[in-house]
Amino acid sequence: MKTRKLGQNGPTVSAIGFGAMSITGFFGPTDDKTSQACMSAAVDHGIDFFDTADIYGSGSSETQIGQFLRETGANIKIATKAGIQTQPVRQFNNSKDYLTASLDASFECLGVDYVDLFYIHRREADRPIEEVVETFQSLIKQGRIGGYGLSEVSPTTLRRAHAVHPCMAVQNEYSLWTRMPDLGMIRTCAELGVAFVPFSPLARGMLTDSPAKRVNMVEPDLRINNPRFMEPNLSDNLAMIAPFQTWAADNGMTTSAAALAWVLSRGEHLIPIPATRTSDHLMQWIGASEIILSVDQLAEIDTILPAGWAYGDRYSVSQYVGPETYC
């Protein structure tokens, strides 16, 4: 596994991270044994950057990672997120008190007293980002976090935050079928020395040899009501992906490895975090950091899956609450 820098002054981590949302059963049923085996396989193959959040399985993702650390003593870098308050009603809360209490709760689940990266999961629109960064500064000075991150924000928000204290990472959705970050965020991160962490780099299970099927989707899977996974969009998207699957096979790659290699090719500051819940799924893309796509191969991919090819928006109207838009 190759490595990359987590921000200008952050630690060196595996070029591909482990997205720990799926081990909660969010994208299909799983169990503790399967989840623990998946994390073990990730570490065995060089992944040392785990990404989680306090709301993933209402803390169960962090608890699973905590159990894994206790049982294996693995040396990994941990990123977690907070800022989405679910009780008494769902809302975004970036206040100092709430973020500090959330971090304490995450420490309890993880069994640690320090995380390398702490994100706001969503920005609270009415709270100045400068105030939020001051909270992060305090946590950094206390030695509780190594750095801070922002999730689903705009380049302008990043610039304002970074001016107060250097940001370590920005996490946005990015893949062959979701490319808004190409219109400013990836470039801004490169300019400022901030890592860009793409989540869902495999299009929520679509850019694989066996794309996701609606029949296997059960609550709370957000894909059930996602426009790209509803007909007729789903069939149209599958038809678009089929030639890419063939291209990947013809070039000696799995579909997911080819899709992940494309993400990695977009800049040395990109550290994608595919979410997986089984070792078998992980093995389909684990070698992607070793794949160097040629200029000709990149051009062929662009012909097969040009920017904007996906049918349907990445979120429904009800799901599109919180992410900042800027184009």
Give the span between the Cα atoms of 136 and 120, in whole angstroms: 10
β-pair partners for 120: 82, 150
**The token pair that represents 230 in the structure block:** 């509803």
Angstrom distance (rounded) from CA 72 to CA 233: 43
Do residues 16 and 271 touch, judged by C-beta distance below 8 A?
yes
- 169 Cβ neighbours under 8 A, 6+ residues apart: 6, 7, 10, 79, 117, 119, 147, 149, 150, 194, 195, 196, 197, 271
Which CA distances in Å does 230 have to 129, 199, 218, 237? 36, 21, 14, 10
- Kindly list the catalytic residues: 56
